[in-house]
Amino acid sequence: MKYLPIDKNLFIKNRKNFTAKMKPNSLAVFNSNDIYPISADSTMPFEQHRDIFYLSGVDQEESILVLFPNCPKEKHREILFLKETNDHIAVWEGEKLTKEAAFETSGIQTVYWLKDMEKIMFELMTQCDTIYINTNEHYRANVETQTREDRYTKWLKEKYPAHSVAKSNPILQRLRSVKDPIEIELMQKACNITEKGFRRLLNFVKPNVWEYEIEAELMHEFLRNRSKGFAYTPIIASGNNANVLHYVQNNQQCKTGDLILLDVAAEYANYSSDLTRTIPVSGKFSKRQKDVYNAVNRVKKEATKMLLPGTMWADYHVEVGKIMTSELKGLGLLDKADVQNENPDWPAYKKYFMHGTSHHIGLDTHDYGILTEPMLPNMVFTVEPGIYIPDEGFGIRLEDDVVIQEKGEPFNLMQNIPIEVEEIEELMNS
């Protein structure tokens, strides 16, 4: 791992919060992700399943966490099963967690090797009535593969068909959406690394630079700051590419007069940041580009002010839509008739701003959070309005990550990342 050790109290607290929500006499199981194959012996880089990470800090494949808060044997109330390691295995397979290191990471005292899992699980299953299984109920999830978690669940349900089943996901959605101060610190770190990358670009972007050269600059800056890289596939979209919302080819040359939409951000310790800035290739916005840019920036500022405890996600989006509609009228992109005749299910503003304004962010870029429940302090949201105008050859989006406060406006984790037109122009020309 490139990141510095995380205070294990975070994981101890997270487990305490999770087990407090479990039914009596129940047990919960969480699995690592698989290492996904490419072909031959090639594999994708390992990405830990965020739930087992959240509850243990274990960032290693083939790991299982079991929580059984009422287990008659105290030492079995929290168990980690890990891939075996010893000095010999370490030489061949590289460093893996020892039992001592697993305790240092997670605060879990009982660590067994994976080969003992079935036998120990048999004992635990005879002692509990309900098993919590971990399904993926994220509102954007679209998974075709069978995960390691799915395989384990299938095995458990087949082997122990008489147990009742409960869902871990709703508990985790609620817990993970409200961030601990240690998590906010880690997310601030991810945002600070992103800031370094963005500032580097302001000195680097010049007419005729290629989009992939920009990507390379960012990757360089992220890696040298202990990030493993981008928190999500970067979008580096010059000119009309910005109007393809999920443009990820990043293979075009940036032309004088064009804007570049950069939806690019670092991860740190598996926590995402999510930034969008839109900058002029030549270091200066045209009058029209500036007008649209400032309109997006005003919508962003007004939207941010609405992220308060108690706000409902759906109402918030309706209000942002109204502000955006007024800005689009000001820019001459919509007129009165467009708005009067609009379809309430797809309001007129959606022609130029067709995506949502905010999403939860944390261990996943589009993080857990139940969108039909009111917003709470210490939830972290993005704010990312945009205006996309293919007919004019550019699209503008601006995006920051903000933490909802008990009182007052949200705290912007990206407050130091240049956003005002004048600051961007000055930095690009200094």
Chain centroid to Cα 145, Å, comes to 20
Task: List the one residue out of 236, 274, 306, 235 whose CA is nearest residue 399.
Answer: 274
Query: CB of residue 193 vs ligand GLY: minimum separation in angstroms?
Result: 16
Q: Give CA separation, 194 vs 73, 185, 230, 254, 430, in Å.
A: 46, 14, 9, 21, 21
Chain centroid to Cα 316, Å, comes to 21
Q: Binds 267, which of ligand GLY, Mn ion, none (CB < 5 to 8 A, cut-off by type)?
A: none
384 makes contact with ligand GLY (CB under 6 A): yes
**Closest CB to Mn ion among 168 and 241?**
241
Q: Binds 232, which of Mn ion, ligand GLY, none (CB < 5 to 8 A, cut-off by type)?
A: ligand GLY
61 makes contact with ligand GLY (CB under 6 A): no
* Interface with ligand GLY (CB under 6 A), residue from 274, 327, 364, 401: 274
CA distance 183 to 60: 20
**Closest CB to ligand GLY among 78 and 400?**
400
Query: CB of residue 246 vs ligand GLY: minimum separation in angstroms?
Result: 9
Q: Phi and psi for 146 in degrees, rounded to 5?
A: -90, 120
Query: CB of residue 312 vs ligand GLY: minimum separation in angstroms?
Result: 20
Phi-psi region of 164 (alpha: psi -120 to 50; beta: other; left: phi over 0): beta
302 makes contact with ligand GLY (CB under 6 A): no
**Closest CB to ligand GLY among 168 and 243?**
243
Residue 393, amino acid: G
Question: Residues 242-271: x/- map of binding to ligand GLY (CB under 6 A)?
Answer: ---------------------x--------
CA distance 54 to 45: 19
**Closest CB to ligand GLY among 233 and 415?**
233
Query: CB of residue 185 vs ligand GLY: minimum separation in angstroms?
Result: 22
The DSSP bridge partners found for residue 301 are: none
Q: Binds 188, which of Mn ion, ligand GLY, none (CB < 5 to 8 A, cut-off by type)?
A: none
Beta-sheet strands, E only, within 32-122: 64-67, 78-82, 110-113
Q: Contact positions toward ligand GLY, by CB under 6 A?
A: 232, 263, 274, 359, 365, 384, 399
